[in-house]
Structure 1
Amino acid sequence: MKAFHAAFDKFDAVITLILEWICIVLFAGLTLLLTANILMRFVPLFSLHWFDEIVELIFAALVFYGAAALWVTRGHFSVGDWISGRIPNLRLRYVYRLFIELASLFFMAVFLKYSWELTQRADDVTNALQLPKAALYACMPIAAAIMLIYSLKNVLIEIGCIIDPVSGEQFRDAPPPATE
């Protein structure tokens, strides 16, 4: 299990860093666009007729890449794991967690399938900039693929914890890799 985690640690750090920087750049771009839109209302130097299309693209990418970043680092919100603590048998606790991870894996597989199909079928373009709509939707299958990989990783971790519950505990709740 140590080899599995060692192999994924660098990959985790790189993916997390990339997703964080994508989100930072997108948020900065969104801030600049919104500021420019406000300023253009008071000092109309030129038209921002393309504004809505770019904001839509940035918001979509920010939401899905941000969700993928949270999925990788296990930083997404949840109601908490209040059931695991009530299961006295350690192996059964991991079996329960495995079912949760399998449900997540199934959801990500469905999300990937349908977001890919949507992206593939999108053959129209935006009004102002004539950008392909597939560009607007591409963030969904990319983020879904990342989340699917990490859901699979989490399933494998839970299986490893079922096989060896004592050594598995140290990897199960390990903090996410540093991105500095």
Structure 2
Amino acid sequence: MKQTVIDSLTKIDKMLVKAMRWFCILLLGAMTVILTLSMVVRFYPFMSMHWFDEVLELMFAALVFYGAAVVWMEHQHFSVGDWISKYIASVRLRFFYRLLVELISLIFIAIFFKYSLDLTLSTEEQTTAFAMSKKWLYMCMPICGAIMLVYTIKNMYIELALILNPDLQVEERVKEDLSAW
């Protein structure tokens, strides 16, 4: 039963990552098309493009935040590297250090989530061209913050399991070199 749940969660995880990656690719493609169209319309004015800046703002915000969530989920985000772990002799202490880094990340992401949710729920602004609520523009922030919170908690759970049992074979740690974080 336990393995079935873990397998199901792994499948959901992979599907979510793949869907979010494709969403980012589609957003980038759509932004490219709209920007190209706006340049063409500037030289050959066959239609009005008064709306394109609002659409690009929405797409760019979504691309940035969903892209950040994807790289967070896959541990592909930019970092200065884990140069401290190699100096920690104890395996358990090394995993505790990583748990501490995840806890600091959790605090930062929780603050980001709270304030982005407050902003999204409290805004009453409307866009000028479409007169749609700016909540649609801001919605990507709390959604991605929530996703990043869930994955940070998952990472903390893995690190805690490794502290309690350093010999435990956790799927993500088997794939990943422990010296490179």
What TM-score does the superposition give when structure 2 sets the normalisation length? 0.91
User: Runs of 4 or more off by more than 4 Å in structure 1?
Assistant: 1-5
Contact 1:126 1:133 in 2 (8 A): yes
Overall identity of the aligned pairs, in % = 46
Q: 1: CA distance between counterparts of 2:174 and 2:102?
A: 14
- What's the CA shift string for 1:69-118, capped at 9, x where partnerless? 10111111111111011100000001111000001111111111110000
Note the C-alpha offset of 1:12: 1.5
What residue identity is the alignment partner of 1:131?
M
Hey, what's the Cα distance between the residues in 1 that align with 2:84 and 2:174?
A: 16
Residue 8 of structure 1 deviates from its aligned partner by 3.2
Whole-Å separation in 2 of the counterparts to 1:34 and 1:7: 40
Task: Give the superposition deviation at 1:168.
Answer: 4.6
- Could you say what the CA RMSD is over the residues aligned between the two structures, in angstroms? 1.8
Shift, 1:2, TM fit: 6.9
* Residues 157, 168 of structure 1: 8 Å contact kept: no
1:33 alignment counterpart: 34
The match for 1:111 is 112
Measure, in 2, the Cα distance between the counterparts of 1:110 and 1:173: 32
- 1:103–1:5: structure 2 CA closer, same or farther, 3 Å change rule? farther
1:160 touches 1:168 (CA, 8 Å); kept in 2? no
Per-residue deviation, residues 36-68 of structure 1 (Å, max 9, x unmatched): 001001100011001111111010000000000
Residue ranges of structure 2 left out of the alignment (5+ in a row): 177-181
Matches within 5 A, 1:106-145: 106-145=107-146
How far did residue 120 of structure 1 move?
0.1
Distance 1:32 1:21 in 2: 16
Structure 1: how far apart are the matches of 2:118 and 2:174?
A: 35
User: Structure 1: how far apart are the matches of 2:170 and 2:146?
Assistant: 27
**1:50 corresponds to which residue?**
51
How far off its partner does 1:174 sit? 2.9
Give the structure-1-normalised TM-score.
0.91
For residues 27 and 95 of structure 2, what CA distance do their matches in structure 1 show? 38
Q: Which residue of 2 aligns with 1:88?
A: 89
Cα distance between partner residues in 2 of 1:5 and 1:83: 31
Q: Which has the higher contact order (CA 8 A, sep 6+)?
A: 1
Q: For residue 14 of structure 1, report the CA deviation from its aligned partner.
A: 1.2
- Residues 58 and 137 in structure 2, CA contact (< 8 A), matched pair in contact too: yes
Tell me if structure 2 keeps the 8 A contact 1:158–1:172: no
